[in-house]
């Protein structure tokens, strides 16, 4: 056994191990269902992604012809694509960082936990991505400046129209005064 306890047999029972794993997961904030072999599956999948099948066989303590890899290692098509891109140097560190998907992002407005790949809060729609927020602020600033220019032009037009109106009123007053003198 891999797990020992200071009792008569020196072994820890599966139920004790399961309790330890679940309590550890709960203390770590893991909300999904966990069990001891999930740790083995996850570890072997990560070793397969990083090092390939030969190292996985050694890490899993299997002979090369064993079918156990198909039971324990779970790779997706995206893992294959990522391995090819990494081999040819087309994978950036940002693309390679899978840990960002494991950590939820709390919305500053409503405190809802969102997966880290979300750009907006799923509950209130608040923008979580700083780049998008900066683009929106820049766009709003540009729109505001454009509106300010339009308003400034309109104010200038209104001022010139008001000046013309004052001139016309003055001319009308002169005409009225001239007509009144003739009578």
Q: Which pTM was predicted?
A: 0.38
Q: For residue 156, is pLDDT > 50?
A: yes
Mean pLDDT over the full length of the chain: 82
Which of the two residues, 166 and 87, has the higher pLDDT score?
166
The torsion angles phi and psi of 113, rounded to 5 degrees, stand at -80, 130
pLDDT at residue 1 tops 60:
no
Q: pLDDT tens digits, residue range 72-92?
A: 676 666 666 677 677 667 766
Q: What are phi and psi of 4, to 5 degrees?
A: -120, 150
Percent of the chain beyond pLDDT 90?
A: 29
Category of 12 on φ-ψ map: left (φ > 0), alpha (ψ -120 to 50) or beta: beta
pLDDT at 116 over 80: no
Alpha-carbon span 172 to 180, nearest angstrom: 12
Give the integer Cα–Cα distance in Å for 141 and 130: 16
**Cβ proximity of 78 and 85 under 8 Å:** no
pLDDT digits (tens, 9 = 90+) for 34-56: 988 888 888 888 888 777 777 77
Query: What are the start-end ranges of the E strands in 28-164?
Result: 105-106, 113-114
* Cα(39)–Cα(28) distance, integer angstroms: 14
DSSP 8-class letter at 64: T
Q: E strand or H helix at 112, and its extent?
A: none
Find which of 15-19, 84-88, 160-164, 179-183 is predicted with most confidence, using mean pLDDT. Answer: 160-164
Map out the domains of the chain as residue ranges. Answer: 101-128, 129-183
pLDDT at residue 86 in the model:
73
| pLDDT of amino acid 101 | 52
CA separation, residue 75 to residues 26, 133, 180 (Å): 26, 35, 101
Judge whether residue 99 has pLDDT over 60.
no
């Amino acid at each position: 056994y891999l797990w020992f306890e200071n009792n008569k047999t020196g072994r820890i029972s599966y139920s004790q191990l399961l309790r330890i794993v679940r309590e550890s997961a709960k203390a770590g904030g893991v909300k999904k269902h966990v069990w001891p072999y999930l740790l083995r599956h996850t570890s072997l999948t990560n070793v397969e992604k990083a090092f390939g099948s030969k190292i996985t066989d050694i890490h899993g303590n299997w002979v090369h012809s064993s079918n156990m890899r198909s039971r324990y290692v779970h790779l997706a098509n995206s893992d294959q694509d990522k391995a090819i891109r990494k081999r040819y140097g087309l994978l950036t560190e940002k693309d390679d960082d899978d840990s960002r998907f494991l950590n939820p992002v709390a919305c500053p407005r409503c405190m809802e936990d969102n997966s880290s790949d979300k750009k907006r809060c799923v509950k209130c729609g608040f923008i979580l991505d700083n780049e998008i927020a900066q683009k929106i602020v820049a766009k709003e600033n540009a729109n505001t400046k454009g509106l300010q220019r339009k308003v400034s032009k309109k104010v200038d037009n209104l001022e010139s129209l008001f000046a013309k109106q004052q001139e016309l009123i003055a001319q009308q007053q002169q005409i009225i005064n001239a007509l009144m003198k003739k009578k």
